[in-house]
Chains A and B, each alone.
Chain A
Amino acid sequence: DIVMTQSPESLTVSLGERATINCKSSQSVFFSSNNKNYLAWYQQKPGQPPKVLIYWASTRESGVPDRFSGSGSGTDFTLTISSLQAEDVAVYYCQQYFSTPVFTFGQGTKLEI
């Protein structure tokens, strides 16, 4: 299975500041035939199921604020929140969906203010 490793495990950022979360996969999740990275980011708030923020490593889901952005390719990826808002306090997970159907997740990054 592809192992996903996130860093840091927890992060404290001030309101209005930038938050950066990293995700590394144990093997490439880039598919050359369609030039896409099979990597998604999810946000999970306490007591709620996860919600997709980003797919194809950098495509924002409809309705997700543009302060959330994803980047990276191959095995190294980043989720950036450009200006942290109070409602962004959550745990963030990366997920690879390259190895169908075993879609593995990172261990999560807890974001606090």
Chain B
Amino acid sequence: EVQLVDSGGGLVQPGGSLRLSCSASGFTFSIYAMHWVRQGPGKRLEWISAISTTGDSTFYADSVKGRFTISRDNSNNTLYLRMSSLRSDDTAVYYCVKVTSNNWYDYWGQGTLVTVSS
């Protein structure tokens, strides 16, 4: 059974940093691209970052470029999102997502809530 377990969220002050993790199991993690998607309160789902199978290629939405860093550890089946210079509009539930070979999302983590507030 495919499982994605998101963790690392919490309350952080504006300007602070946080690292999210996504532990994957039930599939061959190293052969699938992975994405992070977030959902702010009352907002639509927003793609924020993607990483290739090897981690050599990474992509970011303009809203997080230069502040967030995606990475992966294929030996430990874990996806990461390092977030810095956090702002109030980064408050959201963050989901890690498995991407099929044809690019739609077939599995989602349960989400981890990040609240940026003083």
A interface residue numbers (CB < 8 A to B):
38, 40, 42, 48-52, 55-56, 61, 93, 95, 97, 100-108
Q: Does B114 contact A (CB under 8 A)?
A: no
- Partner among B104, B108, B110, B111 whose Cβ is within 8 Å of the Cβ of A97: B104
Question: Which residues of the other chain, A, contact B110 by a CB distance below 8 angstroms?
Answer: 48-49
A101 adjacent to B35 (CB under 8 Å)? yes
> B13-21, B39-47, B72-80, B83-91: which one contacts chain A?
B39-47
A93 adjacent to B44 (CB under 8 Å)? yes
Q: Does B24 contact A (CB under 8 A)?
A: no
With A49-B95, A49-B110 as contacts: A102 and B105 at CB distance below 8 Å: no
Question: Which residues of the other chain, A, contact B111 by a CB distance below 8 angstroms?
Answer: 49
Tell me the dominant secondary structure on chain A's binding face: loop
B44 adjacent to A102 (CB under 8 Å)? no
6 CB-based A-B contacts, threshold 8 Å = A95-B104, A97-B102, A101-B35, A102-B47, A102-B59, A106-B44
A72 CB → nearest B CB, Å: 16
- Partner among A42, A48, A104, A108 whose Cβ is within 8 Å of the Cβ of B47: A104
With A50-B108, A95-B104, A97-B103 as contacts: A103 and B47 at CB distance below 8 Å: yes
B71 CB → nearest A CB, Å: 16
A87 CB → nearest B CB, Å: 19
Question: Which residues of the other chain, A, contact B95 by a CB distance below 8 angstroms?
Answer: 49
Return the chain B residue nearest A100 by Cβ: B103
A30 CB → nearest B CB, Å: 14
- Top 8 closest A-B pairs, CB basis? A49-B108, A101-B50, A97-B103, A105-B45, A40-B104, A55-B104, A107-B44, A101-B59
- Partner among B35, B47, B106 whose Cβ is within 8 Å of the Cβ of A52: B106
